[in-house]
Amino acid sequence: MKEVMAIVRMNMINKTKKALSAAGFDSMTCRKVYGRGKKKVDYELINSLLSGGQIESPEVAEAVSEGHRLVPKRLLTLIVNDDEAEKVINTIISVNKSANAGDGKIFLIPVSNAIRVRTSEMGEEAI
Q: What are the tens digits of pLDDT across the range 100-112?
A: 888 899 999 999 9
Burial class (CB in 10 A: 0-12, 13-18, 19+), 65: exposed
What are the extents of the domains in the chain?
2-37+70-126
Predicted pLDDT at 71:
84
Predicted pLDDT at 116:
93
pLDDT tens digits, one per residue of 55-102: 556 655 555 555 567 889 999 999 999 999 999 999 999 999 998 888
Full-model pTM: 0.74
Nearest to 77, CA basis, from 97, 37, 105 = 105
Overall CATH class of domain 2-37+70-126: alpha beta
**Cβ–Cβ contacts within 10 Å for residue 39, how many?**
12
Predicted pLDDT at 19:
97
> What's the whole-number mean pLDDT along residues 2-21?
96
Asked whether 116 and 126 are in contact (CB, 8 A), the reply is yes
> What's the whole-number mean pLDDT along residues 8-24?
95
Work out the pLDDT band at 118, boundaries 50, 70, 90: very high
